[in-house]
Amino acid sequence: MLPLRFVKTSSLFSPNILFSNFSPKQPRTTLLSLITTKQLRSQSPMASSYTTSSHASKLLFRQLFEKESSTYTYLLADISHPDKPALLIDPVDKTVDRDLCVIKELGLKLVYALNTHVHADHVTGTGLIKSKVLGVKSIISKASGSKADIFVGTGDTVYFGNLFLEVRATPGHTLGCVTYVTGDGPDQPNPRMAFTGDAILIRGCGRTDFQGGNSTQLYNSVHSQIFTLPKDTLIYPAHDYKGFTVSTVGEEMQHNPRLTKDEEAFKNIMENLNLSYPKMMDIAVPANLVCGMQDLTSKS
């Protein structure tokens, strides 16, 4: 069931991850408008069979970059589904038009805009996206204290077409940090992918000295929620400042200069970073606490 035309990625990616906007016709399946595991259980029995399919789903994946804040935005879509449902992880306000243009060019239907946490170094594009594309739902963790259409936590599942993301709470950089992990199953991307926000950066991690940060909490959540994933799981962070684009769980377990230390040594490192105050914090944090619920009447 190969698409009509596709570009194969490097060997780092599974054949299940195709960069394409073409897909064969599949039996039509109703796209769910609600996504968390708890919400799915409250639906009719038909909803529980939504993800079963005799056809392997295909993931379209894009890694997008905003240079001023060195932020990565991730676009994922199920191109084997008739509606080609898509989601964005950690969109930035300054690059919303670019991201929506890519989505339009690829013939995708954007259904969700997710944040891994309340960012302090940029204003998320979630609210702006909602004002431009009616029907898009914003998602963030309940522990973040921010506004959104849907709140998630550990054990919840975000469905888009026949693909899904698992939610894992990874607090420590902020109280409300979560990591989104692609599903575990024969019709899901392999190797798996973890969108870690600032919990794990490539060869580093997010600071823990503001927004309720806690170094012990970060250390424990990373080791219990991320380092327990298969070692070939691809790690995609919210930021990179050295030109890295992707890592793996195995690499970070072996080479991360902070998280490879024992808990006490890690705590000592984090408490002595002496980092400057985030220059965008007083603007970004207040904006990001409300940006998930922008007025939808001003579609443009």
Q: How far apart are CA 80 and CA 77, in angstroms?
A: 9
Structure tokens at 100: 């929506």
Check residue 9 and give its pLDDT: 33
pLDDT range class, residue 171, cuts 50, 70, 90: very high
Note the pLDDT tens digit of each residue in 30-73. Answer: 333 334 444 433 333 333 222 333 334 699 999 999 998 889 99
Higher pLDDT, residue 213 or 93: 93
Q: What is the DSSP string of 119-145?
A: -SSS-BSHHHHHHHSTT-EEEEEGGG-
Note the pLDDT tens digit of each residue in 189-242. Answer: 999 999 999 999 999 998 888 777 899 999 999 999 999 999 999 999 998 999
Report the DSSP beta bridge partners of residue 87.
Answer: 76, 112
Check residue 152 and give its pLDDT: 95
Q: How far apart are CA 44 and CA 206, in angstroms?
A: 41
Q: Where are the beta strands (DSSP E) in the chain?
A: 59-66, 71-78, 85-89, 109-114, 137-141, 150-152, 157-160, 163-169, 178-182, 193-197, 234-237, 247-248
Strand, helix or coil for residue 50: coil
* Residue with the two structure tokens 């690499």: 251
Q: Strand 109-114's sheet: what is its strand order?
A: 59-66, 71-78, 85-89, 109-114, 137-141, 150-152
The dihedral region occupied by 239, where left means phi > 0, alpha psi between -120 and 50, and beta the remainder, is beta
pLDDT range class, residue 299, cuts 50, 70, 90: very low
Kindly tell me if the per-residue pLDDT of 184 is higher than 50. yes
Average pLDDT estimate for 118-146? 86
